[in-house]
Amino acid sequence: MSRPPMTPQKRRQPDSQTQPPALPESERIVYELIKSRKNMGIWIADIKREAGIQNIIVTKALKSLQSKNLIKDVVNVHNKSRKTFMAVEFEPSKEVSGGSWYSDGSLDTEFINILRMMCLKHIEDLRIATIEDIHKCIAASRIMKVECTMQQVLEIVRALALDKEIEELKSTGVAEFSMVQSGKICYRRSRGRQGPSVGHLSSIPCGMCPRISECTPEGVISPNTCVYYKQWLKLEF
Partner 1 sequence: MVSQDALNLAVSLMTSHFGDLVAKVCGCLLQGGTLSLQEIVRCTELSNSQVKNGLLVLIQHNCVQAFSVPKQAGAGGATKSLTQYMALFDNILHRMRFTKFLAIVRDDLGPQCETLLEGLLQHGRLTFDQLVVRATSKQSEDSSSIRDVLRKNLERLVHGQYVERCPRPEPFIAPTSEEGTASARRRSAKSKEETYSLEQQAMIAAALSHAERFSVITDSGRESSDVKDADKQDVSVGDKRKFEVLELDEEVQAAITETEVLWRANFQKFVHCLEKKACVANVRSRLGLDAGVVLEALVESSDQEKDNFVKASMDGILEAVRGKPGGISMTLEHIRIVLDQLGCSSSIEDNNVFYKMEVQCIIESCQNDEVESLVLSRYGKEAYRIFRLLIKKGSLVETEQISDITFVEKKVAQGILYKLWNDDYLYMQKVISIGAGQLQHFLWKVEKHSLWELVLNHMYHAALNLNQKIAHIVEQEQEVLQAREKREQLRKSRMILELSLLKVDDALMLFHDFKR
Answer for which of 7, 141, 149, 202 binds partner 1 (CB under 8 A) is 202
Is 212 among the residues that bind partner 1 (CB under 8 A)? yes
Is 176 among the residues that bind partner 1 (CB under 8 A)? yes
Minimum Å distance from CB 94 to partner 1? 9
Is 231 among the residues that bind partner 1 (CB under 8 A)? no
Closest to partner 1 by CB, 56 vs 235, is 235
Is 223 among the residues that bind partner 1 (CB under 8 A)? yes
**Distance (Å, rounded) from C-alpha 58 to C-alpha 47?**
8
Beta carbons within 8 Å of 221's beta carbon, 6+ residues apart: 211, 214, 215
Report the relative pairing of strands 83-87 and 166-170 from DSSP bridges: unpaired
CB 129 within 8 A of CB 122: yes
Is 174 among the residues that bind partner 1 (CB under 8 A)? yes
Number of residues that bind partner 1 (CB under 8 A): 49
Q: Which stretch binds partner 1 (CB under 8 A): 24-32, 129-137, 143-151, 169-177?
A: 169-177
Site string for partner 1, 117-156 (x = CB under 8 A): --------------------------------------x-
Distance of CA 192 to the CA centre of its chain: 30
Q: Which stretch binds partner 1 (CB under 8 A): 26-34, 47-55, 106-114, 127-135?
A: 106-114
Give the number of other Cβ atoms within 10 Å of residue 75's Cβ.
21
**Distance (Å, rounded) from C-alpha 22 to C-alpha 20?**
6
Footprint (CB under 8 A) of partner 1, residues 12-71: none
Q: Which stretch binds partner 1 (CB under 8 A): 14-22, 61-69, 138-146, 167-175?
A: 167-175
Is 206 among the residues that bind partner 1 (CB under 8 A)? yes
Among 74, 20, 110, residue whose Cα is nearest residue 118: 110
Q: Which stretch binds partner 1 (CB under 8 A): 6-14, 23-31, 44-52, 221-229?
A: 221-229
In the complex, the residues that contact partner 1 under the rule CB under 8 A are 77-78, 98-99, 101, 106-107, 112, 155, 158-159, 162-164, 169, 172, 174-176, 190-193, 196-204, 206-208, 212, 215, 217, 222-224, 226, 229, 232-237
